[in-house]
Amino acid sequence: MSLNQVELQVNAARSKWAPWILTARPKTLIASFVPVLVGTLLAKGTTGTFNGWIALCMLVCAIFIQTGTNLINDAIDFNKGADGFKRLGPVRATQLGLISSQQVFWAGMISFFIGFLVGIPLIIQGGVLVLIALMISALCGYLYTGGPAPLAYSGLGDFFVVIFFGWVSTSASYFLQTGTVNLWVLLAGTQVGLHSTVMIAINNLRDIEGDAQVGKRTLAVRFGPYFARCEITCLVFLPFLLSMLWFIPGMMNPAIIPFICTPQALRLVNNVWYTEPSSVYNGFLAQGAFLHLLFGGLLGLGFIL
């Protein structure tokens, strides 16, 4: 086979998989990575316990469940008209007609199934509580946009993110390492969950007009852009204030080190307050994801120093 033939096959493969990569939204998977990182490093820093295999399985499982949620979300939103050609957010493969919504939906279900397969070692390690957590996470991933009362369409999407990408994922990561959960894990999970929700809140403010037209009653649609900006501000800065609570158990590093990323937080909030909702907000989403990763990484670093 000639070099040109190989290049043609590589390009064809890239073209074939590009719509699926686009639909899976790989940039959003930071929301799966950060809570696993923080929960695992908290366990390592406070108990000295670390099981790399379990941490890896937890991360891969979380990624597949989130990917499944993303895919099903795209399929259902497209069918409901929320991802039309006037959409301001990043382009969707279903929107371009590259993949059918039915294909995307079933790919999401397969992603959930793979997440369960990867989660088998976690169930063996953590028992029935982990099994229940996986089942509820997948179910709510579907109910985020599906079912008779979708969470995202009733203004509950923000709370969903705090619960599952904050409390559940962080606590599960810690529990799988130590076999216990405590209030300090929930504190870390709250910090992680609030910053994860920043991305959803920015997304909802950007899409406020389009969501209102299709009956998607996000908090931004329900209470208006001023409320949405206040929400984003609170979500960005509350994790910094909560860091002060780490002084109580004498953990100085996680109380102080995360403040290194304060300039990033100030920049993001300033951009949201002084920019009208538009496609420019896609850049703000990237800033929110970076803040989430940076703050979570610094918080985790503080636990092990």
- Residue 21 is predicted with a pLDDT of 74
For residue 212, give the amino acid letter: A
Chain length of the chain: 305
Q: Is 8 a domain residue?
A: no
Closest by alpha carbon to 57, among 144, 165, 134? 134
Q: Helix %, strand %, coil % for the chain, to 5?
A: 80, 0, 20
- Residue 109 is predicted with a pLDDT of 92
User: Quick one: three-class SS letters along 143-202?
Assistant: HCCCCCCCCCCCCCHHHHHHHHHHHHHHHHHHHHHHCCCCHHHHHHHHHHHHHHHHHHHH
Angle at Cα 224 formed by Cα 227 and Cα 34, nearest 5°? 55
**Token duo for residue 256:** 């102080």
Q: Is 90 a domain residue?
A: yes
- Residue 214 is predicted with a pLDDT of 80
Q: Where does residue 218 fall: left (phi above 0), alpha (psi -120 to 50 degrees), or beta otherwise?
A: beta
Q: Is 140 a domain residue?
A: yes
Q: Which domain holds residue 236?
A: 28-304
Q: Is 135 a domain residue?
A: yes
Query: Which residues in the chain show pLDDT less than 70?
Result: 1-16, 22-24, 80-97
Query: For the chain, how many structural domains are there in total?
Result: 1
- Residue 8 is predicted with a pLDDT of 33
Q: Is 22 a domain residue?
A: no
Q: Is 162 a domain residue?
A: yes
Report pLDDT digits (tens) over 212-235: 888 889 999 999 999 999 999 999
Q: Is 18 a domain residue?
A: no
Domain of residue 32, CATH code: 1.10.600
Q: Is 1 a domain residue?
A: no
- Residue 252 is predicted with a pLDDT of 96
